[in-house]
Structure 1
């Protein structure tokens, strides 16, 4: 296996890891934000924020940006169209994260419990959830192209 195959394999594993993380966040973690009491909220959210860099933020941003590398370093059998669509999913996730999600997390961490902000956090996370799903599907399709036997 050459570098491009290893990169695609890594990106696929990363995509499916992030798929699990995003659904857990969407269905469990973000809704739990509304269950925390107002007096404990800033402490809770500060703790949450301090714990997510390694399991969530680092793999998330890697997953958003590595598909760009796949455009240039994809295995030969992998179509450019799949690589471009995958990179578009990653960039959409990045934009949603930076423009919509991070500002809301900052508002919660500084201003405490705000039901409307929590609802926005959940609602605005759906495009990111679906783009990560799309990326997982696309990397799987790319993997099938890259490792299918040639006739």
Structure 2
């Protein structure tokens, strides 16, 4: 399968940049701010947040996977990136989503909020590593 490496790398840079910025905002501002939401408004606000953030995160995560699939099908598998992305998906659906589901069912629980923030460091570090690798492996050749 033929593919344009520079176009894929440019797309990868855009997606990785978006996820890097988003995850650090979530980690340092959004998740910690959950503590300050009024108890009686938390479930409704949290439901709105998760629905809206999903509209941003899901396309970026699927795009990130799509780029790696294109490289893989082009006989250029990048196993480090694939493993990091698998770690992100595992942390997302094994740790973050269950915390969000519990918060949506039970309401604001400080122990669940703390677990969400603590376990989200996995995704924060992994997406940071992917961004750094994108910059390093591209050698400045994005277009």
Q: Which TM-score bucket, shorter chain as reference?
A: 0.7 to 0.9
Aligned to 2:26: 25
Aligned to 1:130: 125
Aligned to 1:3: 4
2:85 alignment partner, one of 69, 86, 90: 90
**Deviations 1:5-63, CA, capped at 9 Å, x for gaps:** 21121012100110000000000000011111111110110111221122223213432
User: Structure 1 stretch 3-12 or stretch 53-62: which is displaced more?
Assistant: 53-62
Separation in 1 of the partners of 2:13 and 2:53?
Answer: 21
Alignment of 1:61-140 (within 5 A): 61-64=62-65, 66-73=67-74, 83-140=78-135
Regions of 4+ moved over 3 Å: 71-75
Separation in 1 of the partners of 2:127 and 2:32?
Answer: 19
Q: How many aligned residue pairs are there?
A: 140
Q: Specify which structure has the bigger relative contact order, considering alpha-carbon pairs within 8 angstroms and separated by 6 or more residues.
A: 2
Where in structure 2 are there 5+ consecutive unaligned residues? none
Contact 1:89 1:135 in 2 (8 A): yes
TM-score scaled by structure 2?
Answer: 0.87
Separation in 1 of the partners of 2:50 and 2:130?
Answer: 25
Q: Compared with structure 1, are the counterparts of its residues 72 and 26 closer, same or farther at alpha carbon in structure 2 (3 Å cutoff)?
A: same
Contact 1:4 1:73 in 2 (8 A): no
